[in-house]
């Protein structure tokens, strides 16, 4: 079985447009995807970085988790996403170990990826996303 790999790093930003300008200056990269994910209250933009990606997250409203994150901690690193081969098996292992997930169900992203978030309280202070390719 291939080892898990970093799929993307999620960064909370005030403005995706400002952040895209920064990453264009710094890395010369443009987003491969830019879309709203209403279920998460965010607009996301994906920047290709080698085999991995940087995911920029902008809030869409006052009740967005990103709005709360920015108010509490300011812009910056929000989560790390690790790609796994079998998301159900990973979730089963986490549940059996008593680890807390942010939501009970595996969710489907706009790009066809399935994912769960492990709560920072159960993951050493890091919001850990586990993600499986379509």
Q: Does 10 bind Zn ion (CB under 5 A)?
A: yes
Decide whether 98 or 131 has the Cβ nearer to Zn ion.
131
Query: CB of residue 67 vs Zn ion: minimum separation in angstroms?
Result: 17
> Residue 55 or 58: which CB sits closer to Zn ion?
55
Which one, of 81, 80, 86, lies nearest residue 1 by Cα?
86
Nearer to Zn ion, 66 or 81 (CB): 81
Binding residue for Zn ion, selected from 81, 91, 101, 118, defined by CB under 5 A: 81
Category of 41 on φ-ψ map: left (φ > 0), alpha (ψ -120 to 50) or beta: left
Distance CA(99)–CA(81), nearest Å, equals 17
Residues of span 83-122 touching Zn ion by CB under 5 A: none
3-state secondary structure of 93: helix
Which residue, 58 or 129, has its beta carbon nearer to Zn ion? Answer: 129
Which residues does 51 contact at the CB level (< 8 Å), separation at least 6? 5
Q: Indicate the SS3 state at residue 89.
A: helix
Binding site for Zn ion (CB under 5 A): 10, 55, 81, 129
């Amino acid at each position: 079985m291939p080892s898990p790999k970093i799929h993307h790093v999620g960064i909370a930003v005030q403005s995706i447009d400002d952040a895209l300008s920064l990453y264009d200056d710094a890395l010369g990269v443009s987003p491969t995807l830019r879309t709203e994910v209403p279920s998460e209250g965010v607009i996301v933009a994906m920047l290709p970085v080698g085999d991995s990606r940087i995911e920029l997250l902008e809030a869409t409203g006052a009740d967005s988790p990103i709005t709360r994150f920015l108010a509490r901690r300011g812009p910056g690193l929000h989560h790390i996403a690790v790609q796994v081969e079998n998301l159900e098996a990973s979730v089963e292992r986490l549940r059996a170990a008593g680890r807390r997930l942010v939501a009970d169900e595996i969710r489907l992203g706009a790009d066809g990826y399935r994912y769960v978030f492990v709560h920072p309280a159960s993951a050493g202070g890091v919001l850990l996303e586990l993600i499986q390719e379509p």
